[in-house]
Structure 1
């Protein structure tokens, strides 16, 4: 029972023969009676002798006249005891109650014992690698299984996937995998997951189509039997979870938010989103469904924090089109457009304007080709296959008749754009007449590689359209005003900002507080935090093990952590290899030791370095104990320590040392 209901009961108890409306009328009638009595008392007071108080009477009349003139300029009094005035007061109070109810419609049953736990295993404190576990006492679901990209210190690593250790511990509870959309940071690790676990995958057709492509690459065709395509605005029962996929706009087709209904309450997970009112496919974000759940009552909202610092609204994807039109109209040579391979609407716009100006389309890059043809096959976009040409056919057409759509917007060294820029591509060489469009923003950590590609393209003489064009790229993530709209529509009791680095979710928290969510109802999670929710509270109950697994994408196999660490050491400090023979009896070197160093000293200093190492080694053997010579492993460890200390004193580096000693 809420406060307004208590007030209503109290009023009825004071006047049991009347309802709330009659109580108010009763109150105003009492006020009217008191006012009438007061006026009567004034009429009954003795009158002043006007002959003896003539001056006072004149002054009083003048004041009364001035007051009447002043009152003529004021509006009629809106509060009083007339029926229309009472009706105004009642309406104001009713609207106040209505606002309170619509802003926080959820009636909390604080005696409820139902709880749900949410555990992010990736995607917080970073951009990418998104995976979360939603768990009741009986059942669990996994939301997204994404990958991330390595930084410059992870040599030989192509992608990074989450550590599935916690999944192994609760695998008997898992009822399914739920996918929000088909970006790599949300589905990229699914094939690696399926090599160990198999559960039903619930997703929209495009996401399943792209996962199907990955399964084919990994030899997992048979596992497509686990696919469960979903319709939007339809509720699916998955264990103790009732889940609806809600259409949202993003930088990929067919993205979804999730409404997850449990006994503890409804949770809204936005996935990656922005609120685009003029999307390319004509399907804007389904604000009606979000508002519907907001009216029913949302226990908790998990919302995209990527653009938490960006003021205003994110521009529509359709705003890129006019910029493309201008570039195509003035370009006399080839147009080469590079973007994310999953941003099919961006690719579609480029192709549309290419066709407008009479150009054939050449798609280069395996992921770009695969994603484009998948969306065409599933009917998301409609293009005549006759417009496409292969890379080896480009030279057959005039430059102003060709549009090349390619990968490489992040400066990837194996991408088609990079190979074109470095003159390594078999069929496409950059020309001074080429117009290159890089329709993407560098992902944090990729700035240097993108800059390198730009340098190569400019050195080759091409014109490059990149960040100087304000509308050559638009984000797929909600800015502050869209985040506010999401909070206002869903009206959650609790808020968990997700998808971003810690500073992003902290800023999102500030936005939520401005929208009326109390600070105590907001929790900033990190990977591994297990947060428990019920209608009484949100709190962290424990921390589970998380981590990263490194993958060589060329062979689709994992790389052990120690291998990556060794590579980092080699890159940082180099390696020294020593081969020597020692006379056990005399403890002297039989021959001059062979010393090889890489990544430590310049080639011209190799001879001096080798001589120095030989002297240190000779001195070590003079003082070595006999029992050390009898244990080859211990001997090599001793040599390794002595040489490391000596090298550090000389050049302040701890290289990897590989000694091979033959005791004769």
Structure 2
């Protein structure tokens, strides 16, 4: 979840602190990192440095700042996105704005400093970090692509990276997301002409789904809509919030006549309306998914509408996105999505760009970050091909130590884990890994309840066991066989064990579960209920 701890001379600096969104339906909104290791060392943590404002980099800061109240350094848009999230969580924070080129210390008495370096990504004001330490410079790219023609803002500061490389980079930590894609990523500015080409033949309403944080993409949609005389409506809380913020800060330009609210948007002729919405990854509660199901209170998808998914399907979300596309098509909409390039371009560097950063930085050591393990492995191979002498692929909790003798991965790991929680209660109690495990088991094999009534004085069976099942394959028609298995197990109990309710419950549970394992190969959750009469 993109939370990095850097320790030198007993002082700690933190880079980013994000969340994950589960790609399975387990009744959990977000997954945050277990930050216990940092909390236990809060007196040694001096600062938090942020690379950009995406949720997977800043979403868990409220978790950390509640117990570790240290200065947070970030660029303007990053901090403005962060402020309302912290306010909603009731967390106050010392937020300190920086611009590219600024150098900030990681707290008093800390030997660590961070220089912010402009990079291009799918959100304004993204930065990499040159972390100065007693063991040399550690260059952290953050999420990046080398965009030669960004829609707005500075290009990636390759000259500064080259200068750092000449001076000496001890360690390079670099974004690996698109390591398996050869060549270079397309420029964000190429999306605009593609959108205009897609808009031109449309005669009905146009819906464009994109990430609410991708202000540059939103700008290009607005520009395309303006070219065809369409007004723009915004659906989704994050979209509405980010558009207001981007306009207020000057990151998004839109004529005063273009924005339209509801119910006025419903009354516009179809050729005069463009709708920007959230929901690119098929999130069931998103505005796009609700539109596809016909459940949105403000608008309905109609035959002749044109829907553009201006996004990439994040691995693991293909089924959910496919369901939304199916539902949209059932309502008569035409849908354009991934593959119809360049209605979307990635915000992450591809192999040629990754190798260029390695060439410029000339690090003596390389650690790939941000990606699945196969992406990290491929990126490490790119570094090897560029002649980087030392490379390590780290997983969560592993520690790389730099000293005067070199660099090594320590055998001892930092304890790490996941906290499952709801977005509305991000500062509340952890739902718990065991609860999530049980939910997975219930989804996989179902629930069987076994109810047994016994005489309190003797432990003799008065009635049962009665068996009830939900979502259990192989149960129907097997009740008598299951009951017999349970009764045989109970008969084997000693008179003393029969007097112990917990012992009877466990015997009942094991017997029922054993039958299912033997008869069906499944292991449903078994809930034994013993009533003493």
TM-score (norm 1): 0.76
Deviation digits for residues 297-354 of structure 1, max 9, x if unmatched? Answer: 2222111111112111111000111110011111010000001111111111001111
Match of 2:350 in 1: 479
Secondary structure of 1:388's counterpart equals: coil
Kindly indicate whether residue 126 of structure 2 is the aligned counterpart of residue 252 of structure 1. Answer: no
Is contact 2:8-2:112 (8 Å) kept? no
Look up the match of 1:553. 423
Structure 2: distance between partners of 1:636 and 1:496: 52
Q: 2:5 aligns with which of 129, 133, 136?
A: 133
**Aligned pair in 2 of structure 1 residues 480, 614: CA closer, same or farther (>3 Å)?**
closer
Q: What does residue range 14-93 of structure 1 map to in structure 2 within 5 Å?
A: none
CA contact (8 A) 2:184 2:349 kept: yes
1:103-122: per-residue Cα shift (whole Å, max 9, x none)?
xxxxxxxxxxxxxxxxxxxx
Question: What secondary structure sits across from 1:208 in the alignment?
Answer: helix
Question: Aligned ranges for residues 334-373 of structure 1 at < 5 Å?
Answer: 334-373=205-244
The 3-state SS of whatever aligns with 1:624 is coil
TM superposition shift of 1:147? 0.9
Tell me how far 1:618 sits from its aligned partner.
Answer: 4.1
- Aligned residue number for residue 72 of structure 2: 201
User: What whole-Å deviation, never above 9, does each CA across 1:193-245 have from its counterpart, x for those lacking one?
Assistant: 2233211100001111111121122122xx13x10111221222223222211
Q: CA deviation at 1:356?
A: 1.5
Tell me how far 1:289 sits from its aligned partner.
Answer: 1.5
3-state DSSP of counterpart to 1:566? helix
1:624–1:585 CA distance, 2 compared to 1 (3 A): farther
Which residue in the other structure is 2:505 paired with?
636
For residues 523 and 621 of structure 1, the distance between their equivalents in structure 2, rounded to whole angstroms, comes to 56
CA distance in 2, matches of 1:516, 1:411: 42
- Secondary structure class of the residue paired with 2:263: helix
**Residues 93-141 of structure 1: per-residue CA shift (max 9 Å, x gap):** xxxxxxxxxxxxxxxxxxxxxxxxxxxxxxxxxxxx1110111023110
Q: Report which stretch shifted further, 352-361 or 380-389.
A: 380-389
Structure 1 residue corresponding to 2:98, chosen from 223, 230, 233: 230
Where 2:67 maps in the other structure, the secondary structure is coil
Match of 1:538 in 2: 407
Q: Judge conservation of contact 1:629–1:663 (CA < 8 Å) in 2.
A: no
Residues 353-387 of structure 1 show CA distances to partners (whole Å, capped at 9, x for unaligned) of: 11121111111011111122222222222334542
2:40 alignment partner in structure 1: 169
Query: In structure 2, what is the equivalent of residue 39 of structure 1?
Result: none
**Cα-to-partner distance string for 1:558-590 (whole Å, 9 max, x where unaligned):** 311111111111111211112232346887643
Q: Do 1:587 and 1:622's aligned partners in 2 also have CA atoms closer than 8 Å?
A: no
3-state DSSP of counterpart to 2:123: coil
Structure 2 SS opposite 1:437: strand
Mean Cα displacement is larger for which, 468-477 or 533-542?
533-542
**Is contact 2:310–2:337 with CA below 8 Å preserved after alignment?**
yes
State the partner residue of 2:312. Answer: 441
Structure 1 counterpart of 2:522: 653
SS in 1 for 2:275: strand
- Name the residue aligned to 1:470: 341
Q: Distance in 1 between matches of 2:367 and 2:464?
A: 66
With 629-638 and 591-600 compared, the bigger mean Cα shift is at 591-600
Gaps of 5+ in 1: 1-128
1:244-280 residue CA offsets vs partner (Å, 9 max, x unmatched): 1111101111100111112221111110111111000
Alignment length, in residue pairs?
527
Superposed CA RMSD in Å reads 1.9
Q: Give the Å deviation of 1:393.
A: 2.4
Asked if structure 1 preserves the Cα contact closer than 8 Å seen for 2:8 and 2:134, the reply is: no
Structure 1 position 416 matched with structure 2 position 284: no
Q: Does the 8 Å CA contact 2:460/2:498 hold for their aligned counterparts? A: no
**Contact persistence 2:212–2:242 (CA under 8 A):** yes
Partner residue of 1:66?
Answer: none
- 2:339 is paired with a residue whose SS is coil
1:452-463 equivalences under 5 Å are: 452-463=323-334
- Contact between 2:150 and 2:187, CA under 8 Å: does it hold in 1? yes
CA distance in 2, matches of 1:481, 1:515: 11
Q: Which moved more, 1:412-421 or 1:154-163?
A: 154-163
Task: Answer with 412-421 or 367-376: which moved more.
Answer: 367-376
Query: What are structure 2's unaligned runs of at least 5 residues?
Result: none
Deviations 1:390-437 (A, max 9, x none): 243221101111111001100010110001001111121111111100
Which structure has the larger Rg over C-alpha atoms? 1
Cα distance in 2 for partners of 1:351, 1:432 equals 23
| Aligned residue number for residue 147 of structure 1 | 19
CA deviation string 1:487-516 (max 9, x = no partner): 122222222221112221221122222222
How much has 1:536 moved relative to structure 2? 4.2
**SS where residue 452 of structure 1 aligns?**
helix
Greater per-residue helix proportion: 1
- Which stretch shifts more, 505-514 or 427-436? 505-514
SS of 1:258's equivalent in the other structure is: strand
User: In the aligned structure 1, how far is the partner of 2:33 from the partner of 2:531?
Assistant: 44
User: Does the CA contact (< 8 Å) of 2:310 and 2:343 recur in 1?
Assistant: yes
SS at match of 2:364: strand
Report deviation, 1:517. Answer: 1.7
Give the structure 1 partner of residue 451 of structure 2.
579
**Aligned runs of 1:248-647 on 2, under 5 Å?**
248-518=119-389, 521-534=390-403, 536-541=405-410, 542-556=412-426, 557=428, 558-583=430-455, 589-591=461-463, 593-601=465-473, 606=476, 608-647=477-516
How far apart, CA to CA, are the structure 1 residues paired with 2:363 and 2:488? 73
Distance in 2, Cα, partners of 1:584 & 1:650: 33
In the alignment, is the contact (CA less than 8 A) between 2:116 and 2:130 conserved in 1? yes
